[in-house]
Amino acid sequence: MRPEATIAQISDKVATWTKLLLRTSYFLWLAATDWRVPIAARGVAAAGVAYVVSPIDLIPDEIPVIGELDDALVAAVALILAKRLIPAPLFAELRAEAAGQFPSGPWEGAQADLARGLVFTLTAAMASRFMIYGIGYAARWFAGDTVSMVQAFCRWDCIWYAGILRDGYASAPPESWIGEVNWAFFPLLPLLARFVWNLTPVGPELALLMTGNLMFLLAAVAIYVYGRERFDEASARALVLVTVFSPYSIYFSAGYTEALFLLMTALAFLLWGRKQFLLAGLAAAAASASRLVGAFLAIPFAIWALQDGLLQRFWRFRERNLRMLNAILLAPLGLALFMGYLYLQTGDALAPIDAQAAAWGMVPGNPFQVLLDAWRAPEKLLIYFAAVTTLGLGLAFYLAIRKCLAEAAFMLAGILVPLSAMTWSMPRYIFGLLPTYIALTLLMRDLRIPLPLTMGVLVALNGLVVVIWMGNLEWTRLEDALM
């Protein structure tokens, strides 16, 4: 059976279960707020509703998606107890009112297709997280790893962000400084994770993982809506599948900025297409507060504005054109605010670039020379990075051929900027760009590549990356394995 058909069947069942949970929760709410209901039953109903909306679960959230499944069980138990405590006529009345708000039949109305598509999207996104966490757990078990799932997923950059949550940005390098300092890590992700940390009894690491998973689910929804409005329903669903099962999608759930950046990029693309220029500019500003490349969303904005007659009809449509210009200027705002903060904190507005150069040797240069050097390197791992980077450049060129010039330009900027300093993180940077998935979806459609074949390759690569991640393989060890 085709994967999209399987997920569609699952999503239909999820839609039914979702309606059932909503109807049950609404019934419990009615029972908790109706003074005709006996006080014991009101207490049971209130406890059930409180648990459903509470971020604290009985099932641990180390595997975040699984931790949500207990809501349905608690709601069902509360409903059974309430039925025993509430008089039958009153129970039937409240149940009928809840059923009227959330009927059990199929989706109906003008939003039916959109509702089904959103359920499909969330089902696919959650299925991909089940797969990643399942493979990760199995890999840890086979390896005899004793670290927790939180420690297994929160590594490298996530640890830096957890340090920012605890202590904020450093005002000066530590005494034992060898160049490594947290100025290289952008602020929006730790700011959002701080809300989760403050509202829940979890630690900074788990707060980052929870924030990343939430941003990932929201990004999947935004990508689906964007694909539906930009292309068609089939392409939108294919775009979602290619994104959520992409080989490096573990970064979307690992306390990195990838999921947040993907969400803000999708919102920027979607809102510009809807002519909501101010909101598009704010989304781009948020993207530039999560990654340097977010500032380059000004490039697709400028291309779209020019295609929409910004220069030819400037005075005729002055108000609209000024709103487009404002959106373009807003794109680097997040980066500018971060640089301003670091200037006040450290006296160096370019601290992110200086820290990366001192700590990790990421000195900007000629990106094409960096790529050429990687192809010539004796290490097979560097050749792999060069191959993925070349693939990314090829996809950007393909978008240009398809006359998706704005998306192509943004993808090119998103590749060349980090490539100017190194190649060893290029795969996750490339697969963190929305245009990458747009290009893959269009290419798959143009070449009539069967979606099941594409999904099989993506899932296999995804599983391999998860195993490597969970094995905590250093690059030198991985290189030895490849050689």
Per-residue pLDDT, averaged over 388-395, amounts to 97
Q: Residue 255 has what pLDDT?
A: 93
Q: What's the confidence (pLDDT) of residue 208?
A: 96
pLDDT at residue 113 in the model: 74
Query: In angstroms, what CA-CA distances link 264 with 101, 220, 259, 361?
Result: 33, 11, 9, 29
Q: How confident is the model at residue 179 (pLDDT cuts 50, 70, 90)?
A: low
pLDDT digits (tens, 9 = 90+) for 31-68: 888 888 898 888 888 888 877 766 555 444 444 444 44
Which pLDDT tens digit goes with each residue over 430-480?
999 999 999 999 999 999 999 899 999 999 999 999 998 987 644 434 444
Instruction: Print the SS3 string covering 378-398.
Output: CCHHHHHHHHHHHHHHHHHHH
Mean pLDDT of the chain, nearest integer: 86
Q: What is the DSSP letter of 61?
A: T
HSE of 19, CA atoms in CB hemisphere, 13 A: 18
CA proximity to 259, closest of 205, 207, 189, 184: 189
Give DSSP secondary structure letters for 325-360. Answer: HHHHHHTTHHHHHHHHHHHHHHS-TTHHHHHHHHHH
Q: Work out the average pLDDT over 383-402.
A: 97
The answer to whether residue 203 scores a pLDDT higher than 90 is: yes
